[in-house]
């Protein structure tokens, strides 16, 4: 590592008893020599090879002549140099600079007029450059420590570790640092940007000189970060914590370096967050598991402050028994995170801060209610049995029951149909086709909902009863032809638009002076909003392109098991050889396709997410679609 030489030398110009110090106007880092009044100051200078001298003219006209003596003296300069004439002033004007790389003694003078004769001569002695060999130099000069070198620079530790010392450095190789980045799943750049990089590096440095002969088995050595490393000496070698010393005793001017094969990580400082209080409690193992299952550990380990009302294991067990579920099922509850947030307040509330009738907003956004009676303090119906367990980021109160928030009920497209007096037959059809769960899922869905009058008109046209209609083998296809796997409000529709349905066929939108039509059915009520989509009421039943009821009845499409929970499912039916079998997510993304030569196909769900899917069979002019669930 090259030694950096900083500007030094306060050159004084004496006028009687007055001392004048000049700045360096040359903009070049170096040792300043001032030229004025028939002198260079200092007239004799010693430097090291590689240093630069800067001449500043503070009065008169001068040059720097290192070519040959103006007075005819015998000079033997190792190399010649010359800086041309410059007129100066009291503020200082740059004459020029020269970097001396060859050792030896240099004579020079001012060749202007009689300046040399009047004593304006000087010498510079260039001594060999001192070679730096600090612990930093050892790292920099090692081909195996490029990442450690970068880390020392990024942490701003170069100057500190180039100081007097002594230091002992346990130096992890590039391979060791790469192994750490892979274990942490971060890049080398992200490692160098870690806020605690300086602490990690100082955990590798001891503020004393410790050679291999100074180490002993079981020895504890305090590092610069204030934490100890442990020395282990076994038949396999010398270890610092779990890192093996692979090269020992690389001597430096200010200490010693030992190469190790792993990065040393300082122990995490002890914490006492509200999460730690829960984890360290024997009565809160289920709450600990719930906080982990809901992914709230990091959030509740943050700065806070938080107030946590912590139900005991007995409280969780009682809740599971009340709902007739197992504890595992309770921990798998989809709204577990919301339930837990109902137990946390985003402020610090000790017992002394609580008052009877007080309402406190939780992280869920819903209030809990404080009651203080002769029997004690209650949060909703749960009693505080241990209060004011202090944590670094808040306070924990133990309670004897789980707090259950009131969740607003969601309205699905199925709910809209069920609650409509004009859709009793559509409701019955959705139930008969087994589509209630599918259309109650997250969605979004757009449903074009034919009224009872529209369904009756279809039965009359087909000369069948409503019961016959509900028993049609292709009832599911007919209903799925009314549903779209996306949200389409009236303003999203345009004349001539084609919309793909869950059945696979397209609907055509027509917008005329008479209104909005889906195929030949008119939209009579639009934009009935649901939490998982939107419903438009139409005045006719939409029939898929294939409407031969007798032909479709022979298709006999079955899916089993349904729901799918074993990784595979079977699709069977009476299709012809060469039938196309496709499986779609409700978003329309195809996840499986094949051409079948047999009446049954086994499909793997490996890699599929849980949710609702559709199987579509296309056999010549016949098409059939069925929805199914994957757990």
Q: Is 199 helix (H, G, I), strand (E, B) or coil?
A: helix
Sorting pLDDT into bands at 50, 70 and 90, what band is 214? very high
Q: By percentage, how much of the chain surpasses pLDDT 90? A: 71
Q: By percentage, how much of the chain surpasses pLDDT 70? A: 93
Query: If you average pLDDT over residues 501-520, what whole number do you get?
Result: 92
CA atoms of 452 and 458, how far apart (whole Å): 10
Q: Give the pLDDT of residue 264.
A: 96
CA atoms of 363 and 346, how far apart (whole Å): 6
Identify whether 392 is part of a domain.
yes
| Pair (347, 428) in one structural domain | no
Mean per-residue pLDDT of the chain = 89
Where is pLDDT greater, at 14 or 450?
Answer: 450
Sorting pLDDT into bands at 50, 70 and 90, what band is 517? very high
| DSSP H helices in 294-423 | 297-300, 313-322, 327-331, 336-341, 413-418
CATH number at residue 599: 2.60.40.10
- Concatenating the DSSP letter of every residue in 476-514 gives HHHHHTTEESS---GGG--TT-EEE-TTS-EEEEEEETT
User: How does 587-626 read in b/e, with b if 16+ C-beta sit within 10 Å?
Assistant: eeeeebeeebeeeebebebeebeeebbbbbbbbeebbbbb
Q: Give the pLDDT of residue 23.
A: 61
CA atoms of 155 and 121, how far apart (whole Å): 48
| Pair (329, 394) in one structural domain | yes
Sorting pLDDT into bands at 50, 70 and 90, what band is 20? very low
φ/ψ of 561, rounded to 5, equals: -75, 155
235, 260, 285 - which closes a domain: 260
For residue 159, the enclosing domain spans: 135-260
Tens-place pLDDT, residues 441-499: 888 999 999 999 999 988 887 677 888 788 887 788 899 999 999 999 999 999 999 99
Identify whether 406 is part of a domain.
no
pTM beyond cutoff 0.75: no
| Angle at CA of residue 530, ends 526 and 533, nearest 5° | 80
- Nearby residues of 7 by Cβ (< 8 Å), 6 or more positions away: 24, 29, 30, 31, 32
| Pair (119, 59) in one structural domain | yes
Q: Give the pLDDT of residue 1.
A: 30
| β-strands 44-48, 52-57 pairing | unpaired
Query: If you average pLDDT over residues 427-437, what whole number do you get?
Result: 91
* Whether the predicted pLDDT of 187 surpasses 80: yes
Where is pLDDT greater, at 413 or 13?
Answer: 413
* Whether the predicted pLDDT of 13 surpasses 70: no
Q: Give the pLDDT of residue 4.
A: 30
Nearest Cα neighbor of 208 from 167, 163, 253 is: 167
CA atoms of 426 and 539, how far apart (whole Å): 12
| Pair (314, 393) in one structural domain | yes
Query: If you average pLDDT over residues 607-616, what whole number do you get?
Result: 80
* Whether the predicted pLDDT of 238 surpasses 90: yes
Q: Give the pLDDT of residue 5.
A: 28
Where is pLDDT greater, at 281 or 609?
Answer: 281
* Whether the predicted pLDDT of 312 surpasses 90: yes
Identify whether 202 is part of a domain.
yes
260, 285, 309 - which closes a domain: 260
| Angle at CA of residue 298, ends 351 and 282, nearest 5° | 55
| Pair (361, 248) in one structural domain | no
Sorting pLDDT into bands at 50, 70 and 90, what band is 179? very high
Query: If you average pLDDT over residues 579-605, what whole number do you get?
Result: 84
| Pair (149, 252) in one structural domain | yes
Cα atoms in the Cβ-side hemisphere of radius 13 Å centred on 163? 9
| Pair (20, 115) in one structural domain | yes
Q: Give the pLDDT of residue 587.
A: 56
205, 231, 260 - which closes a domain: 260
Sorting pLDDT into bands at 50, 70 and 90, what band is 9? very low
* Whether the predicted pLDDT of 302 surpasses 80: yes
Least confident span in 148-152, 412-416, 456-460, 545-549 = 545-549
CA atoms of 96 and 83, how far apart (whole Å): 6
Least confident span in 91-95, 188-192, 609-613 = 609-613
* CB 151 within 8 Å of CB 138: no
| Pair (171, 102) in one structural domain | no
Q: Give the pLDDT of residue 18.
A: 30
CATH number at residue 418: 2.30.180.10
| Pair (245, 281) in one structural domain | no
Q: Is 37 helix (H, G, I), strand (E, B) or coil?
A: coil
Identify whether 4 is part of a domain.
no
Identify whether 473 is part of a domain.
yes
Q: How many domains does the chain have?
A: 5
CA atoms of 571 and 591, how far apart (whole Å): 15
* CB 245 within 8 Å of CB 263: no
Neighbours of 178 (CB within 10 A): 14
Tens-place pLDDT, residues 558-591: 888 878 888 899 988 888 888 888 887 755 578 9
Write out the two tokens for 570: 């079977």
CATH number at residue 46: 2.60.40.420
Query: If you average pLDDT over residues 37-59, what whole number do you get?
Result: 95
* Whether the predicted pLDDT of 551 surpasses 80: no
Dihedral angle sign, alpha carbons of residues 529, 534, 536, 540: negative
Query: If you average pLDDT over residues 14-22, what whole number do you get?
Result: 33
| Pair (58, 163) in one structural domain | no
Where is pLDDT greater, at 435 or 547?
Answer: 435
Least confident span in 1-5, 39-43, 284-288, 293-297 = 1-5
| Pair (93, 146) in one structural domain | no
Identify whether 269 is part of a domain.
no
| Pair (22, 114) in one structural domain | yes
CA atoms of 338 and 35, how far apart (whole Å): 80
């Amino acid at each position: 590592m090259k030694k950096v030489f900083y500007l030094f030398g306060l050159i004084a110009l004496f006028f009687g008893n007055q001392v004048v110090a000049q700045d360096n106007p040359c903009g070049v880092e170096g040792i300043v020599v001032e030229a004025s009044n028939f002198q260079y100051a200092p007239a004799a200078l010693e430097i090291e090879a590689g240093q630069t001298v800067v001449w500043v003219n503070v009065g008169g006209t001068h040059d720097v002549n290192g070519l040959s003596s103006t007075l005819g003296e015998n000079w033997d300069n190792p190399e010649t140099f010359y800086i041309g004439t410059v007129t100066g002033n009291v503020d200082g004007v740059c004459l020029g600079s020269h970097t001396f790389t060859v050792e030896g003694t240099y004579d020079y003078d001012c060749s202007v007029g009689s300046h040399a004769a009047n004593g304006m001569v000087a010498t510079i002695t260039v001594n060999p450059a001192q070679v730096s060999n600090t612990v930093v130099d050892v790292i920099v000069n090692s081909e195996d420590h490029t990442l450690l070198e970068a880390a020392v620079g990024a942490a701003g530790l170069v100057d500190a570790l180039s100081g007097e010392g002594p230091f002992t450095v346990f130096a992890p190789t590039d391979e060791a640092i790469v192994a750490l980045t892979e274990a942490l799943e971060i890049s080398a750049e992200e490692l160098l940007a870690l806020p605690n990089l300086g602490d990690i590096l100082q955990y590798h440095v001891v503020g004393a000189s410790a050679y291999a002969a100074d180490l002993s088995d079981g020895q504890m050595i305090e590092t610069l970060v204030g934490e100890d490393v442990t020395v282990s000496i076994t038949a396999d070698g010398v270890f610092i914590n779990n890192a093996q010393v692979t090269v020992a005793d690389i001597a430096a001017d200010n200490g010693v370096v030992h190469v190790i094969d792993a990065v040393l990580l300082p122990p995490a400082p002890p914490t006492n967050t509200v999460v730690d209080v829960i984890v360290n409690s024997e009565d809160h193992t289920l709450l600990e598991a719930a906080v982990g299952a809901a992914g709230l550990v990091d959030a509740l380990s943050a700065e806070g402050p938080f107030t946590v009302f912590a139900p005991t294991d007995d409280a969780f067990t009682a809740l599971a028994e009340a709902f007739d579920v197992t504890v595992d099922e309770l921990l798998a509850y989809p709204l577990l995170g919301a339930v837990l947030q109902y137990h946390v307040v985003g402020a610090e509330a000790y017992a002394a801060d609580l008052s009877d009738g007080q309402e406190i907003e939780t992280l869920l956004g819903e209030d809990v209610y404080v009651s203080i009676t002769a029997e004690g303090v209650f949060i909703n119906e749960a009693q505080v049995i241990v209060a004011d367990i202090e944590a670094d980021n808040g306070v924990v109160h133990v309670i004897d029951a789980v707090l259950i928030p009131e969740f607003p009920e969601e309205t699905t497209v199925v709910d809209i149909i069920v609650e409509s007096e004009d859709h009793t037959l559509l409701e019955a059809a959705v139930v008969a086709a087994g589509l209630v769960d599918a259309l109650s899922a997250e969605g979004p869905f757009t449903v074009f909902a034919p009224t009872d009058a529209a369904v009756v008109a279809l039965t009359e046209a087909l000369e069948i009863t409503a019961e016959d209609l509900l028993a049609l083998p292709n009832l599911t296809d007919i209903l799925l032809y009314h549903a779209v796997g996306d949200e389409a409000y009236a303003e999203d529709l345009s004349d001539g638009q084609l919309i793909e349905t869950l059945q696979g066929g397209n609907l055509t939108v027509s917008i005329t002076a008479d209104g909005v039509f889906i195929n030949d059915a008119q939209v009579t009520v639009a934009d009935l909003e649901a939490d998982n989509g939107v419903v438009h009421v139409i005045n006719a039943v939409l029939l898929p392109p294939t409407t031969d009821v007798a032909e479709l009845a022979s298709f006999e499409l079955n899916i089993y098991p349904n729901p799918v929970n074993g990784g595979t499912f079977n699709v069977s039916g009476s299709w012809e050889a060469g039938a196309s079998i496709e499986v779609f997510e409700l978003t329309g993304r195809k996840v499986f396709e094949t051409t079948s030569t047999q009446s049954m196909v086994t499909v793997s769900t490996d890699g599929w997410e849980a949710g609702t899917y559709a199987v579509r069979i296309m056999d010549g002019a016949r098409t059939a679609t069925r929805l199914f669930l994957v757990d």
